[in-house]
Amino acid sequence: MRRRETLLSLDVLNNGPQRLEPKRKPNWLRAKIPGGEGYQRLRGIMDRHALNTVCEEAGCPNMGECWARGVATIMILGEVCTRACGFCNVKTGRPGTVDADEPRRVAESLALMGLKHVVITSVNRDELPDGGAGIWAETIVRTREACPEMSIEVLIPDFEGDPDALQQVIDAEPHIINHNIECVKRMYPAVRPSAKYDRSIELLRRVKEQGRVAKTGIMVGIGERDEEVLELIDEVVAGSRAGGTGDACDILTIGQYLKPTRNHLPIDRWVDPETFAMYKREGEARGFKVVESGPLVRSSYHADQQADVLTQVWR
């Protein structure tokens, strides 16, 4: 989508003129430069074993901090996505063949790293019959066997709503199953044109139905209003309750949208720290056990600390 078309689509979705492209990034969005012994050690292992990380692909501002603390996000199933979300910096196109040996290679590499917690994610592979669920399941199982002391979090796609594909991931027993809602429902046509808001909530419901720890995340500053964020929180809590009465989604992350390139969706506003603190209070009051909310928060930020709180049942 060309830049002008992107701006027009946002104007339509937001029912009026936008405060597009704030010129100066506020000082609360300054991240530390990657470095340090822990960071360099992980950097070397990643390079030697040709592992893809979403930390690098998405340009995460917290990469240096997380790697130095022994937490990383590995990306499987290649580095080319079949979808073209308006916010994402991962390559879009026709993916290559599936690497059947990837689960073994990932598990062995993670064993060498000695991480406390790992997040495994993937591109969307909509061209595959199972959306890549078979590789997902094998990677989780092999990683559990190779790294018994490490907690495993998976950040999964929606598998186009295929319940059998999702079940393969659930049956592999990762400690935390994360699937990001990403934005309020009204923004989906511009932000996630190939996804469905209700489908994502149904995925979280299926995870909770089987007693698993569920997590989701959103970004703000992309065109939503504060009242819509609070509505989303209510909808995720209510929609993810198994049978309408069980436990709801456990963890919510909320962070500032940062436009990766000039060709991505524009920034509508810089959300201030006080508003992020309000989101956290409201999220916890409305049913989430843990809410990580702040300008630089990303889906994997402080993921190891969240695991410590919520995965004792798995140990």
CB neighbour list of residue 151: distance below 8 Å, 6 or more residues apart = 116, 117, 118, 175, 176, 304, 307, 311, 314
Q: Could you tell me whether strands 213-220 and 251-256 are parallel, antiparallel, or unpaired per DSSP bridges? A: parallel
Q: Where are the domains positioned within the chain? A: 32-314
Q: What pLDDT shows up at residue 152?
A: 94
Beta-strand (E) ranges in 24-86? 52-53, 71-76, 80-81
User: Tell me, which fold does domain 32-314 have in CATH?
Assistant: TIM Barrel (3.20.20)
Q: What pLDDT shows up at residue 69?
A: 61
> Do the beta carbons of residue 306 and residue 293 sit within 8 Å?
no
| pLDDT tens across the length of the chain (315 residues) | 443 344 434 443 544 334 555 667 887 776 555 555 666 666 666 666 666 665 555 555 556 566 666 667 889 999 899 998 988 888 899 999 999 999 999 999 899 888 888 999 999 999 999 999 999 999 999 999 999 999 999 999 999 999 999 999 999 999 999 999 999 999 999 999 999 999 999 999 999 999 999 999 999 999 999 999 999 999 999 999 977 778 899 999 999 998 888 888 999 999 999 999 999 999 999 999 999 999 989 887 777 777 777 755 444
Q: What pLDDT shows up at residue 22?
A: 63
Q: In what order do the strands lie in the sheet with 176-178?
A: 52-53, 71-76, 117-122, 151-155, 176-178, 213-220, 251-256, 290-293
The number of residues making up the chain comes to 315
User: Which residues are registered as beta bridge partners of 256?
Assistant: 220
pTM: 0.84
Q: What pLDDT shows up at residue 43?
A: 63
| CA distances, 142 to each of 33, 139, 207 (Å) | 33, 5, 21
Q: What pLDDT shows up at residue 226?
A: 97
